[in-house]
Amino acid sequence: MDKKLYGLMAEFDTTTEVVKAAEQVRDAGYKKTDAFSPFPIHEMDEALGIKRSILSFLIFGGGITGLLTGLALVFWTHTIEYPIMVAGRPHFSFPAFIPPIYELTILFSAFTAVFGMLLLNGLPQPYHPVFNVPRFNLAMREKFFLLIESADEKFDYEETKKFMESLNPQEVHDVEE
Amino acid sequence: MHDLKEVQKKIYPPMVEGKHTFATVSDEIGDITLKKKTPFHWFIGFGIAFLIAQALLMTITYLLAKGIGIWGNNQPIGWAFDIINFVWWIGIGHAGTLISAILLLLNQKWRTSINRFAEAMTLFAVACAGMFPLLHTGRPWLAYWMLPYPNVMGMWQNFRSPLMWDVFAVSTYATVSALFWYVGLIPDLATLRDRAKNPFFKFVYGLLSMGWRGSARHWHRYEIAYLILAGLSTPLVLSVHSIVSFDFSVSQLPGWHATIFPPYFVAGAIFAGFAMVLILCIPLRHWYKMQDFITKTHLIYMGKVMLATGLIVVYGYFMEAFFGWYSENQYESYMIQNRIWTGPYWFMYWLLIFCNGISIQFLWFKRFRESEFWLFVISVIVSVGMWLERFVIIVTSLHRDFLPANWAMYSPTMFDWSMFLGTIGFFFTLIYLFVRFLPIISIFEVRTLLPDAHVEDHGHAHEHVGDEATA
C-alpha cells in the first residue's frame, strides 16, 4: 500500500443487515466507526452508540438570544432612543411588541438549527476519504456502508478485515486517505 | 389476521404504489432532473410562463418611472390590488409550510411525496407576494428604511404598527421557508451528485450538497434539526397569516375590525394553498409519471383538507354577516348590507360564495374527490374564490366608510392586471425551473416509506402492520 489507509468499509444490501452488523461492531469494542445510509435509520443511533447531540440545546440558546434581542430592540427603541406617544399608551406597550419579538425568536432559532447542524456535522466538506471507494456512489441511492477507521485503537488491518468479513457483507472495501 | 390486514390497508392505504426498491425510487425521481432530454411540453409551458412574466417586468419598469399613480387605487381605496395580491400569494404559500411542517409533526406520512414541491411553491409564492407591498411603498429603493438600523435621520420604526409586524413576519417566513427547503434538499442533492453524468451538473450538485455522505452521525443531527425546524415553522406559519390579518383587524374600519380575522385568514390561506398544490400536482404526476408516489390517496386527502378548511372559511363569512347585524352599529351593519346586496360590488360577493362556499360542497362526495378532473376544476374555482374574498374584504370595506362624502368606486387599471398576471407568469416560470433542475419529490423521505426501510427483529417491527403502509 503506497497510500495511507483511512479505514475499512463493509457494504450491505439491507437495513436490517447493516444495523445488526453495527451492533456487532459496537460490541466488539470499536469506537471510531460510522455507518452510511441513503435515509436516516433510527435504530442506528443505538446500534453504533451515538450519543444524543447537543444541537437541541444550541437551538434553545439561539431562541433565547432571539427573544432577548427582540425585547431589547423594541424596549430600547421605544423607551430610550425614540419614544413615540401613540394613543396615550405607555411607551413600553408590550402586547403590541409581541409580533416582532416572536418572529425574531423563531428566526434566530431557525438559523441556529440549520447552521448548528451543518457546523456540528462539519459540513460543507467537499472531500472525504470515503468518496475514494468507487462503490460509495451508491450510498445515497440504495446501499448501506459500515466504516471502521484505521485511527481506532483496536484497528489492525488483517484482523479487522477478517472481523468485517464475518459480518456477512457484500464486500469489504479499503478506504484510502 | 388476514382480515385485519385488509382492514388496515383500507384505513391506511400504501403511500407508495407499485413495486419499488431504494434504487428505483432514487432513479425514477432523480432521472426527471438528470435525464438528458427535457420533455417538449416543458419548453411550451416554460415559454408561456416566461412570456407572461415579462408583463411583470414591463409593469415594474413603468411603475418605477411613473409612480404608483398608474394603478387604480386612490382615496378612499388606498389599498387594492397590491394588498389583495399580496394576501392571495402569501396565503397560497402557507399550504406548503402546513404540508412540510405541521403534517410532519402530526406524523402524516402522506406529506412525504408532496412536501418538496409544496415547499417550493411556498418560496415562489412568497417571492411574488413580497413584490406587492414593496412596490406599493412607491420608492422601493428606500425599502431598507423599514429595517431597524441606526441611521443619519435619527429615526426609528414604530414597532406597534401592524405594517412593521408584517416586515418581520414575512421576512422571517421567507427566510425560514428557504432554510427548511434547502435542508430537506441536501440529501437529495447528494443523490443527484452521485448519479449525474454531466461534469458541470455533478459539480453544481456537489457544491450544493456540501459533501453530504449519509453518515449516521450526520443523519442523527440532521433529523433533530429537521424536526425542530418543523416545530418552529408551525407556530411561524400561523403567526404570519395572523399578522397579515392584523393589517386589517387592528384598524377601525367596519368589515376589518373583527376578532375572527386571524383564524379565518389562516384557514383561508391553507384552503387556497391546497387548491394550488392540487393545481400543480395533478398535471405534474401525469407529465412525469409520478402516479406511484403521488397516488390517488394523496389527492383524496388533499381534497378532504380543502373541504375542511373551506368550511372554516365559510363559517367566517357567516360570522362576518352575523357581526354586522349583531353589533347594532350602523356602520358595521351598513357595511355588510352594502357588501351583500345593496352595494355595487354585490355580484363579487356572491361569486365568492359560489366559488368558496358552494363549489367545495361537491367534495363531500366520493365521486368528486376521486376524480382528478373535478378536483382540478374545484381547485381552480377555489383559487379564484380566494382572490375574490380578498377583493371583497378590502374593496367593499374601503369604498364606503363612515362619511358618504368620501365614497368612491374602485376599478383596476391595465397595469393592475398586468402586474397581477405577471406574477402568475413569474411563479410558474420558477416552478418550471424547479421541476427541471431539482428533485420534485423528496427522495430520501420516500425511501423511508418503503417496507425495506424498516429494521426487522427489533421487537415491535412485526406487530405494526400499518407502520410501513402509512400512519
No. of helices (H) and no. of strands (E), chain A: 5, 4
Task: Please tell me the distance from the alpha carbon of residue A150 to that of residue A81, in angstroms, as a whole number.
Answer: 60
Residues in Cβ contact with B39 at an 8 Å cutoff, skipping those fewer than 6 apart: B287
Average pLDDT over residues A25-44: 84
Whether B315 has a pLDDT exceeding 90, the answer reads yes
Whether B465 has a pLDDT exceeding 60, the answer reads no
CA of B298: how far to CAs of B291, B369, B449, in Å? 10, 11, 14
Residues on chain B touching A132 (C-beta within 8 angstroms): none
Report B:144-173 residues touching A (Cβ under 8 A): 148, 154-160, 164-165, 168-169, 172
**In percent, how much of chain B has pLDDT > 70?**
95
Cβ pair A35, A22 in contact under 8 A = yes
Cβ pair B435, B290 in contact under 8 A = no
Task: Please tell me the distance from the alpha carbon of residue A7 to that of residue B146, in angstroms, as a whole number.
Answer: 55
Q: Tell me: the pLDDT tens digits for B42-65? A: 899 899 999 999 999 999 999 999
Q: Do B216 and A73 touch (CB under 8 A)?
A: no
Question: What are phi and psi for residue B74, nearest 5 degrees?
Answer: -155, 165
Decide if B210 touches A, using CB distance below 8 A.
yes
Q: Of B111, B79, B276, whose CA–CA distance to B180 is shortest?
A: B111
Q: How far is A40 from chain B (nearest CA, A)?
A: 5
> Among positive and negative, which fits the CA dihedral B351, B355, B361, B366?
positive
The DSSP output letter for B392 is: I
| Whole-structure pTM value | 0.88
SS3 content of chain B, % helix, strand, coil (to 5): 75, 0, 25
CATH class, domain A5-51+128-176, is alpha beta
> Among positive and negative, which fits the CA dihedral B430, B433, B438, B441?
positive
Runs of H (alpha helix) within B250-288: 261-287
* Residue ranges covered by each domain of chain B: 2-145+179-470
> How many other CB atoms are found less than 10 A from the CB of residue B330?
10
Check residue B463 and give its pLDDT. 43
A contact test, residue of B146, B156, B159 with most A CBs within 10 A: B159
Q: C-alpha grid cell for residue A159?
A: 484482523
The half-sphere exposure of A137 on its side-chain side, counting CA atoms within 13 A, is 10
CA of B222: how far to CAs of A56, A63, A122, in Å? 11, 18, 12
What A85-93 contacts at long range (C-beta under 8 Å, 24+ apart), as own/partner pairs, is A86/B158, A86/B160, A93/B160
ipTM: 0.90
Check residue B114 and give its pLDDT. 84
Whether B347 has a pLDDT exceeding 80, the answer reads yes
Q: Of B379, B415, B354, B397, whose CA–CA distance to B81 is shortest?
A: B415
In whole angstroms, what separates CA B293 from the centre of its chain? 21
Residues in Cβ contact with B339 at an 8 Å cutoff, skipping those fewer than 6 apart: B255, B345, B346, B349, B392, B396, B397
Q: Tell me: the pLDDT tens digits for B106-164? A: 877 788 888 888 889 999 999 999 999 999 988 889 988 888 888 888 888 888 888 88
Edge-to-edge order in the sheet of strand A5-12: A33-36, A144-149, A5-12, A171-176
Q: Do B455 and A41 touch (CB under 8 A)?
A: yes
Residues on chain A touching B212 (C-beta within 8 angstroms): 123, 140
Q: C-alpha grid cell for residue A17?
A: 443487515
For chain B, the average pLDDT equals 86
Residue of B nearest to A56 (CA): B224
The DSSP output letter for B101 is: I
Check residue A39 and give its pLDDT. 85
Q: Tell me: the pLDDT tens digits for B397-443? A: 888 888 888 888 888 999 999 999 999 999 999 999 998 888 888 88
Report B:282-311 residues touching A (Cβ under 8 A): none
Q: Tell me: the pLDDT tens digits for B14-45? A: 777 777 777 777 777 777 777 767 888 889 98
* Residue ranges covered by each domain of chain A: 5-51+128-176, 55-120
Residue of A nearest to B229 (CA): A110
A contact test, residue of B217, B247, B443 with most A CBs within 10 A: B217
Report B:85-114 residues touching A (Cβ under 8 A): none
Residue of A nearest to B453 (CA): A15
Q: Do B190 and A106 touch (CB under 8 A)?
A: no
Q: Do A14 and B215 touch (CB under 8 A)?
A: no
CA angle A136, A139, A144 (to 5 degrees): 105
Task: Please tell me the distance from the alpha carbon of residue B192 to that of residue B116, in angstroms, as a whole number.
Answer: 15
Residues on chain B touching A53 (C-beta within 8 angstroms): 220-221, 224
In whole angstroms, what separates CA B58 from the centre of its chain? 26
Decide if B191 touches A, using CB distance below 8 A.
yes
Decide if B228 touches A, using CB distance below 8 A.
yes
Interface A-B: count of C-beta contacts within 8 A: 199
Q: Of B303, B268, B267, whose CA–CA distance to B282 is shortest?
A: B303
CA of B409: how far to CAs of B51, B74, B215, B420, B434, in Å? 32, 10, 63, 20, 41
